[in-house]
A = this chain, B = another copy of it.
Amino acid sequence: MDAPHAAVDETFRAEIRAWLARGLTGEFAPLIGAGGPGREHELIDLRAAWERTLGAAGWIGIGWPVAAGGRGASLAQQVIFHEEYARAGAPGRLGHMGEQLLGPTLLAFGTAEQQKRFLPGILSGTELWCQGYSEPGAGSDLAGVRTRAERSGDGYVLNGQKVWTSLAHVADWCFVLARTDPGAERHHGLSYLLVPMRQTGVQVRPIVQITGTSEFNEVFFDDARTGSENLVGGEGAGWRVAMGTLGFERGVSTLGQQIGFERELNTVIDTARANGSLQDPDIHSRIVQAWIGLKVMRYTAVRTLASSADGVPGLEASISKLQWANWHRDLGELAIDVAGPEGLVAVGGAYELSDAQTLFLFSRSDTIYGGSNEVQRNIIAERLLGLPR
């Protein structure tokens, strides 16, 4: 009744599990539980080293074709990788933007030269990427992008501002949606450009968030430059390329994500048991509901994976996003309610927060970033149900 796994998959599972158990020792031991949503500020240098170690061992891009440097791993094996990665408490990935978003985009829309230039850096964990989509004043409305990219000699000059850019301060490159045709509106006249981050025309400013820590950034392009060889999919094709990315993930990391959720829920249950709030019928009922909700997400992910051949990945992604964002936000509120009056007090002096407090606060971003609940509902209503605009 698990995700369908053959015997060969179990061998694969044993391999990654053993590798992670060995790998997360010694210098990398502090990485267990580090990074990830709400903790992206943690142990950056060590996590960068970890990326290179992962890459050297061939654990990046395992689902990519062998010809592109991947292992051509099956969907089931990709799921297993994510499950085991989560189970081991391995750290939040600094390289996931490159591996999950840019790599597949280049495989689908990039030229042979672009693939040759950029895929090895992703696979080896030596070049890190960030995503330049959202802008102030546009929010979840990607078609409202105003960052301009103008032709200049053999390249482009970019001016504008991006926001909610995770890991911009550690990234070497950014894939940017910019307007190359200033006369065009909405999703016309956009282009998908790869822009080096380490140049004077690019400034990164961290955004201090509700938790008091920083994980998202503002990125300012002020006459930033990139070569014309870094245009993906042709000028004006930016919307098509960016939208194409949405369907790539196919939910392979979802079950892994849920293992992290389960760990968080178990912590909440343990706290409730320890402080007696589990005896409160209201808390008890909410905990059972959360447990059931996690199962429902699991069944949904299993079904999506089993049917991904004929499913519509973009729409399944919207359903999954709403499901987990709401579930996780509710878990955050449950965690702080279980903590009770004690949860009102910071752990340390300068706004050092407990896990429950961080969960409560950071999960508020889940329903906003990566396509807000409102945008996901629009997509489902219009594209899945076919309701008129």
| Shortest Cβ gap from A283 to chain B (Å) | 11
| Shortest Cβ gap from A145 to chain B (Å) | 24
Q: Mark A286-300, 1 if CB is under 8 A from B, else 0.
A: 000000000000000
| Shortest Cβ gap from A279 to chain B (Å) | 11
How many chain A residues touch B (CB < 8 A): the figure is 4
A281 — which chain B residues lie within 8 A by C-beta?
281-282, 284-285
Question: Which A residues are within 8 Å of any B CB, using their own CB?
Answer: 281-282, 284-285
A285 — which chain B residues lie within 8 A by C-beta?
281-282, 285
How far does the alpha carbon of A140 sit from the alpha carbon of B212 in the complex, in Å?
48
How far does the alpha carbon of A282 sit from the alpha carbon of B282 in the complex, in Å?
8
How far does the alpha carbon of A281 sit from the alpha carbon of B281 in the complex, in Å?
6
A284 — which chain B residues lie within 8 A by C-beta?
281
How far does the alpha carbon of A281 sit from the alpha carbon of B8 in the complex, in Å?
48
How far does the alpha carbon of A65 sit from the alpha carbon of B180 in the complex, in Å?
73
How far does the alpha carbon of A284 sit from the alpha carbon of B285 in the complex, in Å?
13
| Shortest Cβ gap from A327 to chain B (Å) | 20
Copies in the complex: 2
| Shortest Cβ gap from A368 to chain B (Å) | 20
Can you list 6 residue pairs at the A/B interface with Cβ under 8 Å?
A: A281-B281, A281-B282, A281-B284, A281-B285, A282-B285, A285-B285
How far does the alpha carbon of A348 sit from the alpha carbon of B284 in the complex, in Å?
40
How far does the alpha carbon of A281 sit from the alpha carbon of B285 in the complex, in Å?
9
How far does the alpha carbon of A281 sit from the alpha carbon of B284 in the complex, in Å?
10
| Shortest Cβ gap from A235 to chain B (Å) | 37
How far does the alpha carbon of A281 sit from the alpha carbon of B283 in the complex, in Å?
11
| Shortest Cβ gap from A387 to chain B (Å) | 15
A282 — which chain B residues lie within 8 A by C-beta?
281, 285
| Shortest Cβ gap from A199 to chain B (Å) | 42
How far does the alpha carbon of A282 sit from the alpha carbon of B285 in the complex, in Å?
8
Sorted from nearest, which 6 A-B pairs have the closest CB atoms?
A: A281-B281, A282-B285, A281-B285, A281-B284, A285-B285, A281-B282
How far does the alpha carbon of A282 sit from the alpha carbon of B286 in the complex, in Å?
11
**CB-CB nearest in chain B for A282:** B285
**CB-CB nearest in chain B for A280:** B281
How far does the alpha carbon of A6 sit from the alpha carbon of B277 in the complex, in Å?
48
| Shortest Cβ gap from A228 to chain B (Å) | 43
| Shortest Cβ gap from A239 to chain B (Å) | 28
How far does the alpha carbon of A24 sit from the alpha carbon of B282 in the complex, in Å?
45
How far does the alpha carbon of A285 sit from the alpha carbon of B281 in the complex, in Å?
9
How far does the alpha carbon of A346 sit from the alpha carbon of B113 in the complex, in Å?
74
How far does the alpha carbon of A285 sit from the alpha carbon of B284 in the complex, in Å?
13
How far does the alpha carbon of A237 sit from the alpha carbon of B281 in the complex, in Å?
57
| Shortest Cβ gap from A66 to chain B (Å) | 55
**CB-CB nearest in chain B for A284:** B281
How far does the alpha carbon of A281 sit from the alpha carbon of B286 in the complex, in Å?
12
How far does the alpha carbon of A284 sit from the alpha carbon of B284 in the complex, in Å?
14
| Shortest Cβ gap from A300 to chain B (Å) | 25
How far does the alpha carbon of A65 sit from the alpha carbon of B285 in the complex, in Å?
56
| Shortest Cβ gap from A34 to chain B (Å) | 39
| Shortest Cβ gap from A117 to chain B (Å) | 49
| Shortest Cβ gap from A340 to chain B (Å) | 18
